[in-house]
Amino acid sequence: MANHASAKKKIRQIARQTAVNRDRLSRVRTFIKKVESAISAGDKAGAQEALRVAQPEVMKGAQKGVLHKNTASRKLSRLSSRIKSLKA
């Protein structure tokens, strides 16, 4: 357990930031799941729309540090290629 005031403060800060990051990552995952559910349903137009909405959210997650930049780009690229392979 922390004994110094600065260490106690750091514990409080980390707890607060962890909660924020958990919410951000959850939001990113939710948007990705919406795209994946549209893909699995075979709805190409719906999947494209969901990807259009999800893209800024995923990149925002990368910008805020909950995802690595390359991970975010890879996820979007793979979703995009899966949408392109769907039949209209």
Please tell me the predicted confidence (pLDDT) of residue 2.
Answer: 85
How far apart CA 30 and CA 36 sit, in angstroms, is 10
The structural domains of the chain, with segments of one domain joined by +, span 23-85
Please tell me the predicted confidence (pLDDT) of residue 88.
Answer: 67
Reading the chain (88 residues) residue by residue, the pLDDT tens digits are 889 999 999 999 999 999 999 999 999 999 999 999 999 999 999 999 999 999 999 999 999 999 999 999 999 999 999 999 998 6
Please tell me the predicted confidence (pLDDT) of residue 87.
Answer: 83
CA 87 to each of CA 15, 41, 52: distance values in angstroms, whole numbers, following the listed order: 46, 12, 18
